[in-house]
């Protein structure tokens, strides 16, 4: 943008420099004072042109630097996005694994409860059998003692 303005300014300056002598040549002669003034104006325009060129170069350098920084930021953002996606997929895998572990734990608890009920049932059966055989043994002992006494 500045380069375009600078080129237009230089083009206008060249036009003025070529047009000015042709208008002055036939109509009148420049005085030393006018000539010095034109020279100072020309020098001032050259200084302005040089300043604008320097600013343009500086702006281009800054633009290049900012473009490089932007590219670096984009690359970093892409890496962060990739890392975030990887973390997200790992999180989903961990959630699925946790769900499986919870399901497995529930099945284990149910299995343990069923085993506990089975063991309680077997224990109750064993107690009943023990009590039954204790009664049979006691009854047999009483009958044997009663038969011996009579």
pLDDT tens-digit map of 121-133: 999 999 999 999 9
Contact 1, 60 (CB under 8 A): no
Q: How many domains does the chain have?
A: 1
Record the tokens describing residue 116, joined without a space.
């506990």
pLDDT tens-digit map of 63-110: 999 999 999 999 999 999 999 999 999 999 999 999 999 999 999 999
Compute how many other C-beta atoms are within 10 angstroms of the C-beta atom of residue 126. 10
Domain carrying residue 89: 2-149
Report the predicted TM-score, pTM, of the whole model to 2 decimal places.
0.46
């Amino acid at each position: 943008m500045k380069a375009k303005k600078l080129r237009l300014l230089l083009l206008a300056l060249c036009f003025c420099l070529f047009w000015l002598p042709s208008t002055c040549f036939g109509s009148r002669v420049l005085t030393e004072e006018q000539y010095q003034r034109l020279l100072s104006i020309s020098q001032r325009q050259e200084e302005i042109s040089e300043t604008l060129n320097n600013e343009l170069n500086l702006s281009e350098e800054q633009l290049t630097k900012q473009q490089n920084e932007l590219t670096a930021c984009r690359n970093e953002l892409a890496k962060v996005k990739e890392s975030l996606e990887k973390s997200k997929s790992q999180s989903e895998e961990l959630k699925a694994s946790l769900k499986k572990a919870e399901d497995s734990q529930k099945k284990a608890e149910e299995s343990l409860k069923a085993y506990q009920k089975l063991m309680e049932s077997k224990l109750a059966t064993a107690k009943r059998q023990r009590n039954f055989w204790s009664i049979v043994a006691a009854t047999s002992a009483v009958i044997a003692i009663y038969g011996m006494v009579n």
